[in-house]
Amino acid sequence: MRTATPRTARSTAAALAAVALLASGTACGSSKSSGAATSKNAKATGTLNVWIRGAGDSPKAYQKIFDAFTAQTGIKVSIGKATLTDFETALSAAASAHQLPDMVVDDAAQLGNFISQGIVLPVDKTTFTGADQLTDQAWASAADLKGKTYAVPFSAQANVLLVRKDWLDKLGLQEPKTWDDVATVAKAFTTRDPDGDGKNDTYGLAVPGSTARGYTSWFWSSFLYSAGGDFLKADGGKFTATLNSAPAVSSAKFLEDQVCTAKDVQPSALGDDTTATNKAFQTGVAGMYLTGPYAYATMDATAIKGEYVAIAPPAGPTGTAGTLAEGTDIFTMADSKQDEVTKLEEFMVTAEAQKLGMSAVPTATIVRLPVNKTVDAAGAHGGDPRWQLAQQVYTTSGHYEYDNAPNWTQLRQKMSDDLNKLLSSCGDAKAALDGMNSDVAALLKQQGVG
Amino acid sequence: MTAGTRTPAAADADVTVRRRGAPRARPRLRRLGPWLYLAPLLVFIGVFKVWPLIWGVYLSFFHVRPYLGDEYVGTDNYSKLFSDPDLRSAVVHTLLDALIAVSGSIFVGFWLAVLLQGPARHVRILRTAVFLPTVIAMVAAAELWTTLLYPSRYGAVNSLLGHAGLGPEPFFSSPHSSLASVIAMQIWKHAPYDMVIFVAGLASVDREMYEACQIDGASWWQRLRYVTLPSLRPITTIVLVLGVIRGLRVFTDIWVATNGGPAGSSESVVTYLYRQFSQDNDTGYASAIGTSLLAVTVVLTALMLMWRRRGET
Amino acid sequence: MRVRTKAGVWFLYALVLFVFVYPLWTLVATVFSRRQARLGELMTVPHGLTGGNVSAAWHLGVARGLLNSLIVVAVGLTLQLTVSSLAAYALARKRFTGANLVMLAILATMMMPEEVIAIPLFQVLGKIHQPFTGGTLVNSYGGLILPLVGWALPVYVLTGFMKRVPLELEEAARIDGAGDLRIFWRIVLPVCRPALGTCAVFGFLMIWDQYLLPLLVSQTPRMDTLTVVVTSLQAAQEQGEGVRLAAVLILAVPGVLVYLALQKLFERGLLSGSLKG
């Protein structure tokens, strides 16, 4: 009977051993690699692990391209993380634990950031099959400060203005061509009940004014460019902030007037990200929306299909046409199976893959404007003239942001915070932009390029 | 009751048990016994709490660059703490949030308890219903509240305000009201929990005191003021202090509802820490913020334990 | 006068229900409404009935997320309660040097903000290899579950409760020759059911509510837990509000069910004072 105690001890010890076993495989030495990023071609077997910043139906569209690639080469591809929410948080964590995927598809705005962390491998354009088929404008957006290429462009776009045609018609208005037109139409949409439901529940401009991911600044940029201004001035690997220039102040003032004085933006504007703003446009809350052409698919899937038109962004006070151009880039991650990743990248910019990306899944236009010169945007979209417009706006007036600054997202975040503060406090635009200018100058210095 | 107190009976019994069970047969195993029971827990805490903790402290002395090699920077990350205005405002938000949300929950929870105390069937059902916000996941609550407080006039709360001729209010979308909206959401979620604790506390208020009051002809308010409140004071203080300490780490609610915005107006220390990590890639600085928060928490907890011990003796 | 007081009390009841319960009801009504909600709209009564939102959400990853969350919570909670009650037994019933110190250390981890150690924890997970597959704990159920097992709250609650279990029972069993583990299992644990009920509810919520850990640990849609799916649906533009709210509802329901199922035990545990401090 007294054996009770040892028996107890034994079974507890067994439980303890089971727990200890779990920790037994622990590799204590931290595997910190020093120096430049490497690839692990030696381990070039198995499946390519790809992370995608995209949600909803986008991963399905990527899957179509990857399936075609696997059919052609036999190399398997699996989609890992695919989300819009907190994508970079997960990626930073993966990097910090040396658990990066082989390839990442993300906004071009991450370029400088990835380079300065050393988590991407450079792309050798001279050996890259099909490099000459890509537009120079797209390649340029994938180069670092010294002109070395660190990504493969996959998709490009420039913002266009979506306007509710039915609302214009009802109120007898013309499509806006200038900032003043925009202000007039916005006022009418807000006050003259364009949806005719007898309620005072519509607004002129849909504005993604949230500071999340820097949307406030992102939205502002098209106005900044069409006023003839810019965020920074680049000179020999250094940057100067140019945010308190006259065009910058006037464009910020224009937005402030819409938000504070005319009150013709959707009321949730300053907290809305693009998803929420899309919904505001889709559901008839606001009647004008400056956004990328990928929104065509999103909007056409809703009740307002056919009720809106896409037009060129309004020209600024001096008649300048300027709009935000953006890209989606493919990044080869450090420690990846580089040779196979390169094969996949080469495939993803072929005419075949680009067309798949534009139309394989109608609700997800993962390739907005093709980077491949041999592909015609409108043609791939069944002759849709709205894509022709997007293509033309991109080539003639598209401006890229400074994606190759060591951490553009940090700068954009700061500018968004400052601009959002101006729009919500309705204060003095000039003073706010002076503050923004010195904030950005300080960050540039901190990033080593000031 | 605290960890340290043991009923004399329990202590005596332990001694008795020891005398009766296997005397000197396996003294070493006897001594090892309690540790065998503790071992699984200690292993889990050691591997998944203490190890990361120490690792985090270590990282806080580096400029962390996983693929370029870490750089030892001494206490640079710590001196940056004191010259970072964004961090300073995050600290202010966090303190405001912790203090207001916790005391607000206690206030609302107390009145809920006063209203819904007692064993009657209908109040028990009401208590169960009111408790529901506490048991839904924070992520679900935050998503629900972004809809409730949606800033257009169709937003649930705004359409109510509309009937009263007010609004629409921007709530989460304005730097002026985002933190207040977060606090309202937290009170909604936590007050019912405090209610349950107060219901338990009210049930243990001395009945005789109440009866004595009744005989003296004391009013409802006097009873509350001179009998109920004083007897609830110890619980209230503990709930408050624990709540504030826990409030220092507020993260998920804010991250999901406002992401710290607009323009950093609802940024808490921990959401700021994650912004340093995921946006500025400054893991070392993020670790320094974390380590400091930890140190503050430890000090506060220790102070609270000391103060309680003093109160007991 | 009394009539007026009574009416006042019922008015307060209605107000309380309106504030704390009505929002949850509108969530249900909106999800099952055939007419899609406008942005930000919540309905008092559904406009026509449909299960379409729920089934749409179900096919957008909610099914997989729910399954993963259920696996994580079932295994995690079992381990958490087992490990905690074993430890509590030692702390409450044994006398040994260092007991106070251990209790203090455990309490200290209760105050430790888990979000703060999430990044180094993730790196630690990347260093621990699993016994059979050889992979690390990143992107595995192990990584989602094991960090949640060691939690101070149940240890604290159970220790407090076990200390107040009368010893006569235990002694009698010991005279009958029962071993330690047997006493623990057959005598102590059953008496502790209210405390276990309290701990189960809290443990369930703690595990079910995890957001940051699964966000980092899960690296494929296959491993996403429900919280991660719900927040990512927020950004899926193709779906209406109803679908997002349906996912939110599915995330909210299990906590309610667990609470209702364990309510009696939970409240007895709370009333027994184990949580008053």
ipTM, two decimals, is 0.89
In whole angstroms, what is the distance from residue B139 CA to residue B137 CA? 5
pLDDT at B305 over 60: yes
Residue with tokens 């396996």: B26
In whole angstroms, what is the distance from residue B225 CA to residue B211 CA? 15
List the chains bordering chain A where 3 or more Cβ pairs fall under 8 Å.
Answer: B, C
- pLDDT band, very low/low/confident/very high, at C3 (cuts 50, 70, 90): low
CB atoms B262 and A266 under 8 Å: no
In whole angstroms, what is the distance from residue A259 CA to residue A297 CA? 28
- Alpha-helix residue ranges (DSSP H) falling in A97-214: 111-117, 136-140, 165-171, 179-191
In whole angstroms, what is the distance from residue A48 CA to residue A79 CA? 8
Q: What is the least distance, in Å, from the CA of C50 to any CA of chain A?
A: 19
In whole angstroms, what is the distance from residue A173 CA to residue A186 CA? 11
pLDDT at B273 over 90: yes
The token pair that represents A371 in the structure block: 């980077």
**pLDDT tens digits along C233-260:** 876 656 678 888 999 999 999 999 999 9
In whole angstroms, what is the distance from residue C267 CA to residue A39 CA? 58
CB atoms A93 and C232 under 8 Å: no
CB atoms C234 and A275 under 8 Å: yes
**pLDDT tens digits along A328-376:** 999 999 989 999 999 999 999 999 999 999 988 887 889 999 999 999 8
Q: What is the least distance, in Å, from the CA of A25 to any CA of chain C?
A: 5
Average pLDDT over residues A110-130: 91
Q: Which residues have CB under 8 Å from C216's CB, separation 6+?
A: A89, A90, A93, C118, C119, C122
Q: So what's the pLDDT on residue C211?
A: 92
In whole angstroms, what is the distance from residue B19 CA to residue A8 CA? 18
Average pLDDT over residues A208-212: 86
pLDDT at A286 over 70: yes
* Residue B64 in contact with partner chain A when CB distance is under 8 A: yes
Tell me: cis bond preceding B262? Omega within 30 of 0 counts: yes
List the chains bordering chain C where 3 or more Cβ pairs fall under 8 Å.
Answer: A, B
User: Which residues of chain A from 213 to 272 reach within 8 Å of chain C, CB to CB?
Assistant: 268
- pLDDT band, very low/low/confident/very high, at C181 (cuts 50, 70, 90): confident
Q: Which of A9-13, A189-193, A442-446, B75-79 has the lowest mean pLDDT?
A: A9-13
Average pLDDT over residues C16-24: 95
A57 touches A297 (CB < 8 A)? no
User: For a pLDDT cut of 70, what percent of chain A falls above it?
Assistant: 90
Q: So what's the pLDDT on residue B213?
A: 73
Q: So what's the pLDDT on residue B27?
A: 57
Average pLDDT over residues B266-274: 93
Least CA distance to B129: which residue of chain C? C21
CA distances in angstroms from C255 to A78, A124, B103, C55, C69, listed in the order given: 34, 53, 25, 21, 12
Least CA distance to A411: which residue of chain B? B280
Q: Which domains does chain C have, with CATH numbers?
A: 64-227+257-274 (1.10.3720.10)
Angle at C266 between CA C70 and CA B185, to 5 degrees: 70
pLDDT at B17 over 80: no
Backbone phi, then psi, for A400, in 5-degree steps?
-80, 155
Backbone phi, then psi, for A163, in 5-degree steps?
-135, 140
CB-based burial of residue A136 (10 Å sphere; 0-12 exposed, 13-18 middle, 19+ buried)?
Answer: exposed
Q: What is the CATH number of domain B80-312?
A: 1.10.3720.10
In chain B, CATH 1.10.3720.10 sits at 80-312
Show residues of chain C in contact with A28, CB under 8 Å. 127
CB-based burial of residue B116 (10 Å sphere; 0-12 exposed, 13-18 middle, 19+ buried)?
Answer: buried
Q: Which of the two residues, A383 and A223, has the higher pLDDT score? A: A223
- pLDDT band, very low/low/confident/very high, at A29 (cuts 50, 70, 90): very low
A5 touches B25 (CB < 8 A)? yes
In whole angstroms, what is the distance from residue A204 CA to residue A181 CA? 12
The distance of Cα C91 from the centroid of its chain, to the nearest Å, equals: 24
The token pair that represents B289 in the structure block: 């913020």
Average pLDDT over residues C116-132: 88
In whole angstroms, what is the distance from residue A125 CA to residue A122 CA? 9
Residue with tokens 């499946």: A47
* Residue B246 in contact with partner chain A when CB distance is under 8 A: no
Q: What's the residue count for chain C? A: 277
CA distances in angstroms from C137 to A43, A177, A278, B172, listed in the order given: 21, 57, 38, 37
Q: Which residues have CB under 8 Å from B28's CB, separation 6+?
A: none
Average pLDDT over residues B164-174: 83
Show residues of chain B in contact with C113, CB under 8 Å. 248-249, 251, 270, 290, 293-294, 297
Q: So what's the pLDDT on residue A41?
A: 42
CB atoms B14 and C93 under 8 Å: yes
B72 pairs with which residues across the strands?
A: B62
- Alpha-helix residue ranges (DSSP H) falling in A123-230: 136-140, 165-171, 179-191, 215-226
User: For a pLDDT cut of 90, what percent of chain A falls above it?
Assistant: 59
pLDDT at A11 over 70: no
A186 touches A397 (CB < 8 A)? no
DSSP string, C35-74: SPPPTT---SS-SSB-SHHHHHHIIIIIHHHHHHHHHHHH
- Report the SS3 class of residue A103: strand
The distance of Cα B276 from the centroid of its chain, to the nearest Å, equals: 24
Q: What is the least distance, in Å, from the CA of B152 to any CA of chain A?
A: 6
Q: Which residues have CB under 8 Å from A330's CB, separation 6+?
A: A103, A104, A105, A151, A152, A153, A154, A345, A348
Least CA distance to C137: which residue of chain A? A22
Q: Which domains does chain A have, with CATH numbers?
A: 44-156+326-400 (3.40.190.10), 160-325+403-446 (3.40.190.10)
Please choose, from the candidates B6, A10, A6, A15, the residue with its C-alpha nearest in 3D space to the C-alpha of residue C95. B6
Show residues of chain C in contact with A84, CB under 8 Å. 232, 235
* Residue B154 in contact with partner chain A when CB distance is under 8 A: yes
CA distances in angstroms from C245 to A163, A277, C271, listed in the order given: 29, 18, 35
Helix, strand, coil percent values for chain B (each to nearest 5): 75, 0, 25
Backbone phi, then psi, for A208, in 5-degree steps?
-80, 85
**pLDDT tens digits along A46-102:** 799 999 998 878 899 999 999 999 999 999 999 999 988 789 889 988 998 888 999
Q: So what's the pLDDT on residue A251?
A: 95
Average pLDDT over residues C34-54: 86
Q: What is the least distance, in Å, from the CA of C160 to any CA of chain A?
A: 22
DSSP character for A174?
Answer: P
Q: Which of C237, C238, C241, C245 would you mutate first to test chain A, the one with the most A CBs within 10 A?
A: C237
pLDDT at B15 over 80: no
User: For a pLDDT cut of 90, what percent of chain B falls above it?
Assistant: 42
**pLDDT tens digits along B127-157:** 999 999 999 999 999 999 998 998 877 788 9
**pLDDT tens digits along A396-427:** 999 999 988 988 988 998 999 999 989 988 99
In whole angstroms, what is the distance from residue B13 CA to residue B121 CA? 41
**pLDDT tens digits along C57-110:** 998 889 999 999 999 999 999 999 999 999 999 998 888 888 888 888 887 787
Q: Which of B44, B122, B292 would you mutate first to test chain C, the one with the most C CBs within 10 A?
A: B44
User: Which residues of chain B from 92 to 131 reach within 8 Å of chain C, CB to CB?
Assistant: 112, 115-116, 126, 128-131
Q: Which residues have CB under 8 Å from C86's CB, separation 6+?
A: A12, B37, B38, B40, B41, C184
Please choose, from the candidates A5, C250, C277, A434, the residue with its C-alpha nearest in 3D space to the C-alpha of residue B137. C250
List the chains bordering chain B where 3 or more Cβ pairs fall under 8 Å.
Answer: A, C
The token pair that represents B11 in the structure block: 């202590």
A79 pairs with which residues across the strands?
A: A50
- pLDDT band, very low/low/confident/very high, at B28 (cuts 50, 70, 90): low
Start-to-end Cα distance in chain C: 40
